[in-house]
């Protein structure tokens, strides 16, 4: 059996679900545009540049979840998925995931984006396992804080290994391991698997992939 890991944003979907979720709330008037839009853009540029302070960003991203009851958030989540995310899911991405699943691989999406936003998205791909940043809850209501280690940069390796250990598995349990990603932020996990694949990569990852002889794949179009 192979282990196949996928980044989500700008890899399996042609956009960033974290960024789009904040823009969705701004567009509906749920978040104040003057207060949130410029900051959302600033964090997104920091992420792409590899300079993002994940703790500062998560405080910004998760606090709005704590302001509304879960029932209302779930309604917005379904609207967000239908209107903003599904149009970003291409046939090539579905075929890539479907091929690995058909061959019996153990598949997971490994993303820095929080699990509230990404849970419904992974189900669209038929993937059972999600390793994401976890927004903490108390009595079914989000607190605005993070539960445990964010799934970001080296944290992705820790979270993957914890997940594998919980199933009695390790890297050596698999003949091959794959990770598909677009981002320089994922170089730690890409360097950990036996088969790293750069997907529509940013300039830094593309240069690294070409220098290391990693495959470069496009799922756009």
Beta carbons of 138 and 152 less than 8 angstroms apart: no
Residues written for the chain = 221
Rounded Cα distance, 18 and 88, in Å: 13
Of 89, 158, 159, 73, the closest CA to residue 126 belongs to 89
Beta carbons of 9 and 84 less than 8 angstroms apart: no
Beta carbons of 171 and 182 less than 8 angstroms apart: no
Q: From the candidates 7, 16, 182, 202, which is the catalytic residue? A: 7
The yes-or-no answer on residue 53 being catalytic is: no
Rounded Cα distance, 130 and 76, in Å: 21
Cα 99 → chain centroid: 20
Rounded Cα distance, 151 and 189, in Å: 11
The yes-or-no answer on residue 7 being catalytic is: yes
Rounded Cα distance, 30 and 34, in Å: 12
- Report the catalytic residues: 7, 9
């Amino acid at each position: 059996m192979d282990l196949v890991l996928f980044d989500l944003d700008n890899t399996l979907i042609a956009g960033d679900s974290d960024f789009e979720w904040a823009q969705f709330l701004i567009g509906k008037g749920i978040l104040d545009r003057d207060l949130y839009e410029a900051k959302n853009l600033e964090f997104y540029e920091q992420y792409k540049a590899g300079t993002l302070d994940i703790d500062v960003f998560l405080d910004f991203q998760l606090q709005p979840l704590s302001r509304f009851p879960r029932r209302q958030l779930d309604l917005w989540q379904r609207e967000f998925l239908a209107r903003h995310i599904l149009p970003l899911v291409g046939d090539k991405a579905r075929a890539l995931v479907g091929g690995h699943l058909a061959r019996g691989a153990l598949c997971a999406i490994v993303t820095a984006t929080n699990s509230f936003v990404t849970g419904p998205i992974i189900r669209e791909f038929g993937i059972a396992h999600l390793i994401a940043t976890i927004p903490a809850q108390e009595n079914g209501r989000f607190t605005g804080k993070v539960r445990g280690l964010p799934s970001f940069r080296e944290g992705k390796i820790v979270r993957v290994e914890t997940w594998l250990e919980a199933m009695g598995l390790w890297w050596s349990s698999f003949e091959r391991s794959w990770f598909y990603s677009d981002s320089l932020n994922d170089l730690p996990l890409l360097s950990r698997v036996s088969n790293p694949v750069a997907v529509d990569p940013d300039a830094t990852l593309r240069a690294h992939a070409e220098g290391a002889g990693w495959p470069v794949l496009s799922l756009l179009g």
